[in-house]
Amino acid sequence: MENCYIKLEKVDLYYPSHIYNATTLKQEVFALLKLKKKKERLDNVHALRNFNLEVREGEKLGVIGHNGAGKSTLLKTIGGIYPIQSGTRDVKGEIRSLFDLALGFDLESTGRENIMYRGLLLGETPIKIKEQENDIIDFAGLGEFIDYPIRSYSSGMLIRLAFAISTSISGEILLLDEVIGAGDASFAAKAKERMTGLMSKAKILVLVSHDLSTIKEVCNRVILVKQGNIIKDGDPDEVINYYQNTI
């Protein structure tokens, strides 16, 4: 058995209906006064349906499909973020996921303090984070602002810091929802180089993207997802051509 693998067998995942059916007080008042039609209640959304997938060490898997097909849900299921209702999820290997770069940030704390907070959230030890702190600061290029509260940062500065922290820690299994662009043009080249390095070092890569040229360039296997199911699995050129011909 490989050191790393992903196995999903007969997985079913639902989004509970209360997420969609929740209404605000304003909506309730408008409906009561007949100023706006009351929102129709929706059933639970079946996001992944009897889903089967096995990814082996050495595979760079691209996931394509229309919006709402279940691609991002699949990534978060593999990452253990979304609980499954039935079936089995078996993942062996250290997972590193890049979904929400700013997750775990405290706006009232400094950039330096947030390096520690975010690093801990990513599963690193305080000692390891401290060892990487100077490299993260240098990569982000924030200068003296690293000791300012991040509520004072521009959106570009915040993205640069978040990207520098999130990509400083590599993992055996890398889950990516789109290839992340970060900051201004001067930062973009560094960001692309780092992302390329992370993807090449990962023992397993699962990449969700609408950029089919990137999928072709990076991946050695592609699955096409539709309505929570895999409808095509195989060689990138073959699956992408099938997808483009059925759009």
pLDDT at 71: 95
Residue 99 forms part of a structural domain:
no
Residue 103 lies in a domain: no
Which pLDDT does position 219 carry in this prediction?
96
Q: Are residues 86 and 127 in the same domain?
A: no
166 falls within a domain: yes
Which residue stretches of the chain have pLDDT < 50? 1, 18-23, 39, 42
Q: Give a yes or no: residue 191 inside a domain.
A: yes
Check residue 181 and give its pLDDT.
65
What is the domain count for the chain?
A: 2
Q: Are residues 177 and 235 in the same domain?
A: no
Q: Is the pTM of this model over 0.75?
A: yes
User: Six-digit token pair at 94?
Assistant: 């250290």
Same domain, 216 and 145: no
Amino acid found at 245: N
Residue 116 sits in the same domain as residue 195: yes
Q: Are strands 204-208 and 60-64 parallel, antiparallel or unpaired?
A: parallel
Q: Are 117 and 198 in a shared domain? A: yes
Sheet holding 86-92, edge to edge: 45-56, 5-15, 86-92
3-class secondary-structure state, position 73: helix
Q: Are 160 and 142 in contact (CB under 8 A)?
A: yes
In a shared domain, residues 125 and 170: yes
Q: Is residue 189 part of a domain?
A: yes
Boundaries of domain holding 58: 5-30+38-93+207-246
Predicted confidence (pLDDT) per residue in 82-139, tens digit: 999 999 999 999 998 887 777 778 999 999 999 999 989 888 899 999 999 999 999 9
Question: Alpha helices of 83-218 — where are they, by DSSP H?
Answer: 111-121, 126-140, 155-166, 185-201, 212-218
In a domain, residue 105? The reply is: no
